[in-house]
Structures are given as structure tokens and as C-alpha cells.
Amino acid sequence: MFWKIDCFVGTVTRSITPIASAVFKLGGKPVFVSHVEEPKCERCGQNMDFIGQIPLKSPLKFSKRFAMAYLFMCPGKFDERVGLECETWEAFSGANAVILQEDHGRALIAEGPHRYVDYEVRLQRLPEPNVDVTDERISEREAAQVSEDTKIGGVPAWLQMNETPACPMCGLPMRFVAQISAEPDGPLPADTWDAVTPSSRRWDDATPAVPVTRSSRRWDDKNNHAFFDFGDVGLGYVFVCARDCTNRGAFLWQCS
Ligand SMILES: [Zn+2]
Ligand SMILES: [Zn+2]
């Protein structure tokens, strides 16, 4: 038996109108509680895409100091020979950013374009066993209680190895805050991936990782199906320092 850890699992739905308050949401534009930030990729210089924002005080308290976390990721720079140049999957690579803000009572929304429509996240409290899912000693029953959906709290449903980042300031393992599924519109039809992105399935092979191709994006647009570029139907993981050392959180993603 393992102790349970509190967790809120999300049901993600497209919002008809933009969400303009500091709630948990995916896509749309960030609603800053302190000041507007527009991070650029440190690798390629492009403006990063806004992926989502996560409250750090409620329903779970992750920070004494910071009220919100804002997640950004480089749209990626494609190169036919070597695949994706910007390491969006790696914590502190400079190709993604988790910006933490203290609550200054504002609700600031930047001008300019955004890549994704707004997605509302409705939360349901579903505590999870406090386990490392990569630990082979845990039972299947326990592993099955760890949600692979978008969620706040709980434990990461690692698709590969446990990659809990260390805080760049204090060196301690960072605290898991949220998990984001790559498919806010729900799963794509299974055969679609085989049809349009066979190359992206080679992620674990010895050959260089090939990102989701441009052709699959056109398919998405046509069918009104958006996804975040976390490899092949991956999961993104957001962390903060439990000691509030820094106003930068960590983000990384994995795919199976
Ligand atoms: Zn980049
Ligand atoms: Zn720290």
C-alpha cells in the first residue's frame, strides 16, 4: 500500500469564448497576474507558443510566493536532416519556459497572435497513489490509478524514465505540479498517425528523432483537431521548486 497524494484530473473542452481570468486553462492567451512576458526561444529566437497556465495556490498549494505558472514552448525549427533542432522536450533547454508570477491583482493579456484556441479544464478530485510509475515493484493496480490525462497534482505518468528535474538554484528535486496531454481535442483516430506520420514513430530507434511532420498539421487544421507538439501523442510535465527559489519552473515532455 502507498499513501495517496491529492490530484485533480481535468476534462478538457474547447471554450467558445476566450478565457480571460487566471484559472487553469490550455491554449488561448496567457492571463498574467503581474506583468506581461513574451519569452523567445533561446535556441532559434522565435516567439514561443503559449501552451497553458496553472494556478499554484488552488485547488492545490504548490507555492507560498507564486500564484500562477505560465507554460511556453518553441514552435520548433524543422530541419530535414537532423529533425527538430530546438530541444522543446528538455527541462531548462531554453526551448521551453515556465514563468512563475506573484499575484499583483492584475489580469493582463498581451496583444498579438496565439497558436491555440482556449481550452477550459474542469477538475475532478481523484487522489493517486504516491508512486514512481517507473518503479517495477509497484503493482499494475496502483499504476493504473495514475492518470495519463491532463491533471494538477498527483504523480507524473512517465511514458519513459523518471526525469524529475533538479532546481537550478538549490539542487533539490522539483515538485510535480501538472501534467498536460498533447491532445486537447481528444485522441486522433489511431490510423491517422500511421497514415500521415509514420516517421514520428521512430522516436526510440537509433535513427535521429523525427518530429511530427508538417503534413500532419494540415490534416489537423482541416479536421479541426489541435495538438501540442509533444512528440507522438506525448505528455508534458510541469515542475516548480518546493522552496520557491526561483521564478522559473521546469517543463519537459515525453512520448511513447
Ligand atoms: Zn526554438
Ligand atoms: Zn530550489
Per-residue pLDDT tens over the stretch 25-61? 999 999 999 999 999 999 989 999 999 999 999 999 9
Compute the distance from residue 46 Cα to the ligand 1 centre, in Å.
6
Dist CA 194 CA 201 (whole Å) = 8
CATH number at residue 34: 2.30.320
C-alpha cell at 129: 497513489
Dist CA 159 CA 62 (whole Å) = 24
Compute the distance from residue 80 Cα to the ligand 1 centre, in Å.
15
Residue 213 — very low, low, confident or very high, per pLDDT cuts 50/70/90? very low
For residue 78, pLDDT over 70 is answered with no
> Helix count (H) and strand count (E) of the chain?
3, 14
Compute the distance from residue 23 Cα to the ligand 1 centre, in Å.
27
Compute the distance from residue 219 Cα to the ligand 2 centre, in Å.
42
Domain count within the chain: 1
Range of the domain at 192: 4-254
* Mean pLDDT, residues 215-221 taken together: 41
Provide the pLDDT for residue 76.
83
Comparing 79-88, 130-139, 145-154, 228-237, the range with the smallest average pLDDT is 79-88
Compute the distance from residue 73 Cα to the ligand 1 centre, in Å.
8
Compute the distance from residue 248 Cα to the ligand 1 centre, in Å.
18
Compute the distance from residue 46 Cα to the ligand 2 centre, in Å.
28
Q: Report which of residues 167 and 217 the model is more confident about.
A: 167
Report whether 235 contacts 75 (CB < 8 A): no
Residue 181 — very low, low, confident or very high, per pLDDT cuts 50/70/90? very high
Asked if the peptide bond before residue 59 counts as cis, ω within 30 degrees of 0, the response is yes
For residue 151, pLDDT over 80 is answered with yes
For residue 197, pLDDT over 80 is answered with no
Provide the pLDDT for residue 211.
39
Provide the pLDDT for residue 196.
41
Q: Write the single-letter amino acid at 221.
A: D
pLDDT tens per residue across span 107-129:
999 888 899 999 999 999 999 99
Decide: helix, strand or coil at residue 162: coil
* Mean pLDDT, residues 228-232 taken together: 88
Provide the pLDDT for residue 80.
64
C-alpha cell at 87: 530541444
Compute the distance from residue 83 Cα to the ligand 2 centre, in Å.
33
C-alpha cell at 74: 518553441
Dist CA 69 CA 25 (whole Å) = 11
User: E strands of the chain, at which residues?
Assistant: 4-5, 7-14, 25-26, 49-55, 68-73, 78-79, 83-84, 96-101, 119-125, 128-129, 151-153, 175-181, 235-240, 248-254
Q: Classify each residue of 52-78 as buried b or exposed e, where b means 16 or more C-beta atoms within 10 Å of its C-beta.
A: bbbbbeeebebbeebbbbbbbbbbbbe
Provide the pLDDT for residue 220.
43
- Mean pLDDT for the chain overall: 86
Query: What is the 8-class DSSP label of residue 141?
Result: H
For residue 212, pLDDT over 50 is answered with no
For residue 73, the ligand closest to its alpha carbon is 1
Distance of CA 143 to the CA centre of its chain: 21
Most confident of 76-85, 146-155, 191-200, 221-230: 146-155
Compute the distance from residue 251 Cα to the ligand 1 centre, in Å.
15
Query: What is the 8-class DSSP label of residue 118?
Result: -
Dist CA 165 CA 147 (whole Å) = 20
